[in-house]
A and B are shown apart, each in its own frame.
Chain A
Amino acid sequence: DQQVKQNSPSLSVQEGRISILNCDYTNSMFDYFLWYKKYPAEGPTFLISISSIKDKNEDGRFTVFLNKSAKHLSLHIVPSQPGDSAVYFCAASSYFSGAGSYQLTFGKGTKLSVIP
């Protein structure tokens, strides 16, 4: 059963408008939520994260909102640019003190196309 879900496989947005990418999760024990951006045939790159104790984190054009009661987070990109066209993965992490590491669970990704 998927613990992290991105229900929209794709999204198209006009340049300059807002892109909103959504993610739902089922495990209330996740510590952090992260967004990664991935271009074809390349590794994902970290975009922005949010701690489970916060409800908003902003970095330039990118803002992530967390609604813990709804187990939902979203990534807002404003204004959207053609270079933002990529697959965006939502991920949730849990820290395992015994193992001494974080474990990430990824969603299936949303392909964003920003139309000039």
Chain B
Amino acid sequence: DGGITQSPKYLFRKEGQNVTLSCEQNLNHDAMYWYRQDPGQGLRLIYYSQIVNDFQKGDIAEGYSVSREKKESFPLTVTSAQKNPTAFYLCASSPVRAGAGGELFFGEGSRLTVL
């Protein structure tokens, strides 16, 4: 089945450690995104990528890093520089074409808890 797979679903990290969240899609979408959701908040954009080997900062990129070496994969690293990393992280993808309406396809999410 086509879709987006995020792993791990739950992750615990000690303060000062970097952690990488995986996101893989087999929808053949060009664009991929990382969002963060906090309680009572909307989804806030961390990073996005329209094409392999290129990515752009979103609204809250500080303390995060990404790579896009393959079309199917867009891993997110939460670094020790991120001051408040405990959150629910969502990966999404979309086709890149005008008229598509901007519909995003989301993964199931990864919950990161910093101890």
Contacts and interface: CB of A to CB of B under 8 A. Distances in A.
Interface residues of A, number: 30
Contacts of B51: 100
Contacts of A36: 106
Contact of B109 (A4, A41, A46, A49): A41
Contact of B42 (A43, A93, A101, A107): A107
Nearest to B94: A102
B96 A104 contact: no
Q: From DSSP, what is the main secondary structure of chain A's interface residues?
A: strand
Interface of A: 4, 9, 31-32, 34, 36, 41-46, 49, 51, 89, 91, 93-95, 97, 99-104, 106-109
B104 interface: yes
Interface of B: 4, 6, 31, 35, 40-45, 48, 50-51, 56, 88, 90, 92, 94, 96, 98, 100-109, 111
B31 to A, nearest CB: 5
A9 B31 CA distance: 30
B114 to A, nearest CB: 18
A109 B44 CA distance: 12
Nearest to B58: A103
Contact of B43 (A9, A44, A97, A103): A44
